[in-house]
Structure 1
């Protein structure tokens, strides 16, 4: 896919993976519309990209942003659904309203944006790329609500890919990292309930607060590595359905083929071992 005069709409671009992806597309010569619910973008993003406020749960804002891009640039060649955050905690302790709000961002946001950009893309083709997670395939104790959201957007994206296959040169892909060294873990840790914790989940909370369940520890990759993968999904001549980010993400993704009697001890053991190591390293 030629990047000359190409236009990308990127959500969640004010920090982390989104900011790194905005830089990667700008380096490659794209016109980058960097959007985020937060109004503050890094200085270099403001200088190199066209920055707009966008809440992916707001239909009116989505329509206004799409209309502005079409008016200014004439087309949208690539949509990157990156906006998201994690609600952490054992399923029994997580508030249903918090899960519902997270789903609105992780699942309904990409759905709304796909509906908004597809009519424009049919005129000249394009790519829709969603930054998901290997947790969409393999759930982790304490991250069940987040895993559920990623599993849902994976299914949504798979269906969309099949539905548009062969239609007007539109391609749909998923990018699937494992842990990434961003502010995600701090935000997710801040979502943990302060009180009314079931004592039965003390080890799960320990893994979330002092272990590597949220951060990945030394297994975490960089936002720039994920950004390079997103750019590959946008530019590959024959885009793939899925792009696991790194060897460890590929390994984690394929563990879901193991029977539950083998998977479950692995996940429990990782959290407990990482909590132990986290206190000493």
Structure 2
């Protein structure tokens, strides 16, 4: 009698890294529960699965709604009897700065990118303990290095990384592996997620010129070919999912490894300030 296939639940699969990871996991033989906040937006995901000739179990899950999270995780256990891995991928970008952002806007960024991750992880952990499973969270190089006009987003990603770094040794004592995956620039994600009309005239008050310089720098990464594809970033997710002993922190490109290394070796913070300050000077 063959063993039941391993089951992975992935959040935020309507596009980008989440979609690519869902396809990659299904290709690798995982029973893949691909979740998204709005299932009416699943057409692209379904088409990708059809083209890849793989089967996905597509379900609704809003990471900011605890009832939705509980229903999704409980539904997986009811239908399959096990949960072997979770990939926290759902998130949203945000560009702004403290003086111009409302506290409500900042709270919303934290709700999606931090508390949403915790909500899914908390619901999944008892089942991951039962299978000796894996808890994988897609963060960002912005979870290591704070970046201009990404204050709220980086704060949320810093919080995720701090939480998971603290949780990892505790979870390990009970057989659960915890990993964070840190992409750099990923094609299409910046323009789609930051909530700024790049064709419109940007008015950020006294910060207008500085923001324009940051936008020019950021968009340049997507226009010069240095941004990786979602499928490329998903390869790092698959490494965390399938490697015997995955590292806690996995970057998705050589550029991301070099960028993150700047911070990890920067005891007084001056190297990072010099680096990111040049983006807006």
TM-score by length of 2: 0.88
Question: 1:72-117 deviations in whole A, cap 9, x for unaligned?
Answer: 1111100000000111022221221111011111111111111111
Q: Is the 8 A contact 1:188 1:214 kept in 2?
A: no
Q: Distance in 2 between matches of 1:51 and 1:14?
A: 10
Mapped to 1, the partners of 2:231 and 2:13 lie a distance apart of 13
Please report how far the alpha carbon of residue 46 of structure 1 lies from its aligned counterpart in structure 2 after TM superposition. Answer: 6.0
Instruction: For 1:63 and 1:255, locate their aligned partners in 2 and report how far apart those are by CA, in whole Å.
Output: 39
Change (3 A) 1:99 1:213: farther
Q: Quick one: which of 169, 182, 189 aligns to 2:188? A: 182
| Number of the residue aligned with 1:29 | 29
Of 269, 273, 276, which residue of structure 1 is paired with 2:278? 269
Distance 1:181 1:91 in 2: 27
Q: CA deviation at 1:120?
A: 1.3
User: Does the alignment pair 1:69 with 2:76?
Assistant: yes
State the Cα distance separating 1:186 from its structure 2 match: 2.7
Match in the other structure for 1:100: 107
Query: What CA distance in whole angstroms lies between the structure 2 residues aligned with 1:105 and 1:224?
Result: 23
Other-structure match for 2:177: 171
Counterpart for residue 231 of structure 1 = 238
2:261 aligns with one of 247, 254, 259: 254
Instruction: Give, in angstroms, the shift of residue 221 of structure 1.
Output: 1.2
Matching residue of 2:213 = 207
RMSD between aligned alpha carbons?
2.3
Q: What SS does the aligned partner of 1:104 have? A: helix
Instruction: Give the Å deviation of 1:189.
Output: 4.1
**What is the aligned partner in structure 1 of residue 91 from structure 2?**
84
TM-score under structure 1 length normalisation:
0.88
| 1:194–1:35 CA distance, 2 compared to 1 (3 A) | farther
Unaligned stretches of 5+ in structure 2? none
Gaps of at least 5 residues in structure 1 are 273-281
The answer to whether the Cα contact below 8 Å between 2:232 and 2:252 also exists between their aligned partners in 1 is yes
Distance 2:33 2:208 in 1: 44
Q: Could you tell me how far apart the structure 2 residues matched to 1:187 and 1:35 are? A: 18
- 2 CA distance for matches of 1:236 and 1:262? 33
Paired residues of 1:88 and 1:191 also in contact (CA < 8 A): no
Q: Distance in 1 between matches of 2:220 and 2:172?
A: 35
CA contact (8 A) 1:142 1:204 kept: no
Tell me the distance in 2 between the aligned counterparts of 1:35 and 1:140: 29
Q: How does 1:94-133 map to 2 (within 5 A)?
A: 94-133=101-140
